[in-house]
């Protein structure tokens, strides 16, 4: 992804919808160049073209959400990848940060990646230097997640050393939460089984409470985010012995 593409995604993160004319003026290039850029970004799944511009959709579709706050998410993903060793077996849950993280980890030799997300398996399957295991289950088309009892049956046959989980909300009162009940059930199971659990999230999730609880603060080992959290959150994390990591 070139620098101008990153700038376009950054601008869209603030307003969600942009026009070709506005982007051309802000980036000081021709409208033809912007149209070409938007087409390329759409082909990669970062946005959707509309008449005269482009939009970032509010959707569970990972490919669209990857474009929102792209630079922050990429920094989180790259820091998380530093904690994966050659030859290790890890679990990667759904989410836009985890999708970027999976691409980073796929370059580590002999690594086995277990995931319940078809998008993640598909995007790294051909380029991974190790193995990719996609768990079976009930398929959710929009998020491309596998859920249900079959996922649990698959998990019972596998061992992994670390789990990397995305969230929709984190509050002091309720802990880590997600929008989807069936995915939350799977994530709770994974967190309870994993020797080490990493939460990967941007700071916008702090203070939010989603429908279903994953786990409490005491159940995780690392939290990687893009901003220093408020003092009350830092205190809770420190008390629980959670390693708080913030990429530069």
Do 39 and 85 lie in one domain? The reply is: no
Residues 32 and 78 in one domain: no
pTM: 0.77
Question: How large is the average pLDDT for residues 70-98?
Answer: 94
| 195 and 143 belong to one structural domain | yes
Q: How many CB atoms lie within 10 A of CB 174?
A: 15
pLDDT value, residue 82: 98
* Residue 52, pLDDT above cutoff 70: yes
Asked whether residue 23 falls in the same domain as residue 94, the answer is no
Minimal CA–CA distance to 10: which of 74, 62, 102? 74
Q: Which pLDDT belongs to residue 5?
A: 87
**SS3 sequence, 103-141?**
HHHCCCCCCEEEECEHHHHHHHHCCCCCEEEECCCEEEC
| Mean pLDDT within 27-40 | 93
Report the candidate in 74, 154, 172 with the shortest Cα–Cα distance to residue 115: 154
Same domain, 201 and 142: yes
Nearest alpha carbon to residue 154 among 112, 207, 190: 190
The answer to whether residues 112 and 223 belong to one domain is: yes
Residue 66's pLDDT is what?
63
Whether residues 32 and 83 fall in one domain: no
pLDDT above 70 as % of the chain: 92
Q: Give me the residues paired with residue 245 across strands.
A: 224
- Of residues 196 and 12, more confidence is placed in 196
> 199-217: per-residue pLDDT in tens?
999 998 999 988 899 999 9
Domain of residue 22, CATH code: 1.10.10.10
- Candidates 67, 119, 113; CA nearest to 88 is 113
Is residue 68's pLDDT more than 80? no
Mean pLDDT to the nearest integer, 125-148: 91
Asked whether residue 65 is domain-assigned, the answer is: no
142-161 average pLDDT score? 93
CATH number at residue 140: 3.40.50.1360
Cβ neighbours of residue 88 closer than 8 Å, sequence gap 6 or more: 108, 111, 112, 161, 162
Say if 196 falls within a structural domain: yes
Are 137 and 23 in a shared domain?
no
Residue 62 is assigned to a structural domain of this protein? no
Taken as a whole, the chain contains a residue count of 248
* Residue 63 lies inside a defined structural domain of this protein: no
Has residue 212 been placed in a domain? yes
- Are residues 37 and 93 located together in one domain of the fold? no
- Region 110-136 average pLDDT: 93
C-alpha span between 93 and 122 (Å, rounded): 14
pLDDT score recorded for residue 63 = 57
Query: Mean of the pLDDT values across residues 129-153?
Result: 93
Domain count, the chain: 2
Place of tokens 């939010």: 208
pLDDT given for residue 41 in this prediction: 84
3-class DSSP assignment, residue 172: coil
Whether residue 61 is contained in a domain is answered as no
Q: Are residues 137 and 186 in the same domain?
A: yes
**Token reading at 181:** 């009940």
Whether pLDDT at 3 is above 90? no
- Say if 46 falls within a structural domain: yes
Q: What is the mean pLDDT of the chain?
A: 90
Q: Which of 59-63, 69-73, 226-230 is the least confident region?
A: 59-63
Range of the domain at 28: 3-56
Asked if residue 143 belongs to a domain, the reply is: yes
Query: What are the structure tokens assigned to 242, written together?
Result: 């959670």
Residue 92 and residue 143 in one domain:
yes
Indicate the range of 52-61, 86-95, 206-215 predicted with least confidence.
52-61
* Burial tier of 147 (Cβ tally within 10 Å: 0-12, 13-18, 19+): buried
- Asked whether the beta carbons of 115 and 102 are under 8 A apart, the reply is yes
Specify whether 17 is located in the same domain as 85. Answer: no
């Amino acid at each position: 992804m070139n620098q101008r593409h990153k700038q376009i995604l950054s601008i869209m993160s603030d307003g969600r919808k942009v026009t070709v004319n506005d982007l051309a003026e802000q980036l000081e290039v021709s409208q033809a160049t912007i149209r070409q850029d938007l087409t390329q970004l759409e082909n990669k799944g970062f946005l959707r073209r509309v008449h005269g511009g482009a939009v970032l959709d509010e959707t569970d579709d990972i490919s669209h959400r990857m474009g929102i706050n792209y630079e922050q998410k990429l920094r989180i993903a790259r820091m998380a990848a530093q904690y994966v060793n050659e030859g290790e077996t890890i679990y990667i849950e759904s989410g836009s940060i985890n999708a970027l993280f999976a691409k980073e980890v796929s370059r580590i030799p002999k690594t086995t990646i277990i995931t319940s997300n078809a998008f993640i398996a598909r995007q790294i399957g051909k380029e991974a230097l190790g193995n990719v295991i996609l768990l079976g289950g009930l398929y959710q088309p929009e998020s491309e997640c596998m859920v249900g009892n079959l996922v649990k049956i698959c998990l019972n046959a596998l061992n992994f050393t670390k789990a990397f989980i995305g969230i929709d909300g984190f509050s002091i009162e309720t802990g880590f939460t997600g929008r989807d009940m069936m995915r939350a059930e799977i994530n709770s199971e994974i967190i309870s089984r994993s020797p080490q659990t990493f939460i990967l999230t941007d700071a916008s999730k702090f203070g939010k409470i989603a429908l279903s609880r994953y786990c409490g603060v005491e159940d995780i080992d690392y939290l990687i985010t893009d901003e220093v959290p408020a003092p009350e959150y830092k205190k809770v994390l420190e008390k629980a012995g959670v390693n708080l990591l913030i990429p530069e």
